[in-house]
């Protein structure tokens, strides 16, 4: 009898282990609902770098868990920038599937994380996210390279038009007053101020009789900032450029004592920004060679 009891006990133990083991093998883990980015032409489904004001098309699909079959009940779309979340979509519904897409435009430079969340009836949540870097491509520019300017007593033209890239001589401006509106700056070699870039309305420039500015009917009020931009940095500028912020507090109507390699920031009366690089200053002949980069009209 004792032997039977022992065998029975062993059988019961083995049976318990067997039943428990089978139960674990048969359980199916619930993966929860699914969420996916739409792929294919036109859709953004991974981290991306774009330009300011550029739009991306993002699509989201989802379906219920194959185990629970619980319907989807909530969709949330959030953009997180500088660790600050902003919710753009927070909708509730009751469906076994989900389909959503939207074109998203970014109007400011920076980085953002786009977070998409789906939740089912049981409260199980799944998510997808992607990162967007928004860059400013800069302004479209014109380049006028190796421009030669003369002083008040030189045959070369002293006056420059940034809208045309043309150098004007004195007679073209005194005889045709409409041309005066085109001139944004001029070059002269003063007695005390040495090599100078100046606006047409600059007080010192207007004292130089040979420039004949006093008789002009229109004088552009171009203003200048001295910069720390190097000649090499100027030369590296491509087809677009993000100009430095023009400092109105230190603006001047002229820059005196120019040096070779110096780069000057200017702002025209029509609010165009530009840079002037001083390439060469001749000790004899009162001339200058400059290159100009300016925002397109």
Tokens representing residue 34 in the block = 């699914």
DSSP 8-state secondary structure symbol assigned to residue 71: P
Tokens representing residue 250 in the block = 């230190």
pLDDT band at 285 (very low <50, low <70, confident <90, very high): low
Query: What does the pLDDT read at residue 185?
Result: 98
Same domain, 186 and 103: no
Report whether pLDDT(287) > 90.
no
> For the CA atoms of 3, 4, 6, 12, what is the dihedral angle to 10 degrees?
170
Contact status, residue 109 vs residue 82, Cβ threshold 8 Å: no
Measured between alpha carbons, how far is 169 from 154 in angstroms, rounded to an integer? 10
The burial class, CB within 10 Å (0-12 / 13-18 / 19+), for 49 is: exposed
Same domain, 270 and 149: yes
pLDDT band at 11 (very low <50, low <70, confident <90, very high): very low
What's phi and psi for 242, nearest 5 deg? -95, 100
Same domain, 157 and 108: no
Same domain, 187 and 49: no
Question: Does some domain include residue 158?
Answer: yes
Query: What does the pLDDT read at residue 60?
Result: 97
CATH code of residue 75 = 2.60.40.10
SS3 for 133? strand
CA angle 63/68/71 to nearest 5° reads 45
Question: Does some domain include residue 17?
Answer: no
Residues near 175 by beta carbon (within 8 Å), at least 6 away in sequence: none
Furthest-apart CA pair in the chain: how many Å?
A: 135
57 forms beta bridges with 43, 103
255 forms beta bridges with 197
Q: Which residues of 61-99 are buried (b: 16+ CB within 10 A; e: fewer)?
A: ebbbbeeeebbbbbbbbbbebeeeeeeeeeeeeeeeebe
- The residue range of the domain holding 57 is 34-135
Same domain, 56 and 95: yes
The CA-to-CA distance between both ends of the chain, in Å, stands at 108
Question: Does some domain include residue 239?
Answer: yes
Q: Is-above-0.85 flag for pTM? A: no
Same domain, 180 and 161: yes
Residues near 152 by beta carbon (within 8 Å), at least 6 away in sequence: 158, 188, 189, 208, 210, 211, 286
Same domain, 241 and 108: no
Predicted confidence (pLDDT) per residue in 223-252, tens digit: 999 999 999 999 999 988 989 999 999 999
Domain count, the chain: 2
Query: What does the pLDDT read at residue 254?
Result: 96
pLDDT band at 23 (very low <50, low <70, confident <90, very high): very low
Question: Does some domain include residue 6?
Answer: no
Question: Which of 107, 135, 163 represents a domain boundary (last residue)?
Answer: 135
Same domain, 40 and 183: no
The pLDDT of 261-283, averaged and rounded, is 94
Measured between alpha carbons, how far is 148 from 281 in angstroms, rounded to an integer? 10
Report whether pLDDT(3) > 80.
no
Query: What does the pLDDT read at residue 19?
Result: 38
Query: What does the pLDDT read at residue 28?
Result: 72
């Amino acid at each position: 009898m004792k032997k039977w009891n022992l065998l029975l006990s062993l059988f019961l133990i083995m049976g318990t282990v067997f039943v428990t083991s089978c139960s674990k093998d048969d359980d199916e883990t619930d993966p929860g609902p699914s969420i996916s980015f739409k792929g294919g032409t036109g859709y953004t489904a991974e981290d991306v770098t774009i330009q300011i004001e550029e739009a991306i098309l993002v699509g989201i699909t989802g379906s219920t868990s194959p185990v629970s079959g619980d319907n989807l009940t909530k969709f949330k779309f959030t953009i997180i920038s500088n660790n600050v979340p902003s919710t753009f979509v927070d909708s509730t519904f009751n469906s076994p599937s989900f389909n959503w897409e939207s074109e998203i435009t970014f109007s400011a430079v920076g980085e953002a994380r786009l977070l998409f969340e789906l939740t089912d009836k049981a409260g199980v949540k799944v998510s997808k996210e992607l990162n967007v870097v928004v860059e400013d491509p800069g302004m479209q520019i014109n380049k006028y390279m190796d421009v030669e300017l003369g002083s008040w007593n030189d045959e070369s033209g002293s006056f420059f038009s940034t809208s045309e890239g043309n150098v004007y001589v004195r007679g073209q401006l005194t005889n045709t007053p409409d041309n005066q509106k085109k001139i944004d700056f001029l070059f002269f070699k003063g007695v005390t101020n040495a090599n100078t870039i100046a606006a047409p309305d600059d007080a010192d420039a207007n004292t130089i009789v040979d420039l004949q500015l006093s008789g002009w009917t229109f004088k552009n009020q171009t203003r200048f900032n001295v910069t720390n931009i190097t000649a090499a940095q100027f030369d590296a500028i491509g087809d677009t450029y993000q100009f430095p912020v023009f400092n109105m507090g230190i603006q001047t109507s002229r820059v005196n004592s120019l040096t070779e390699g110096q780069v000057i920031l200017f702002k025209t009366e029509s609010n165009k920004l530009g840079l002037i690089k001083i390439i060469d200053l001749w000790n004899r002949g009162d001339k200058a060679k400059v290159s100009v980069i300016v925002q397109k009209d």
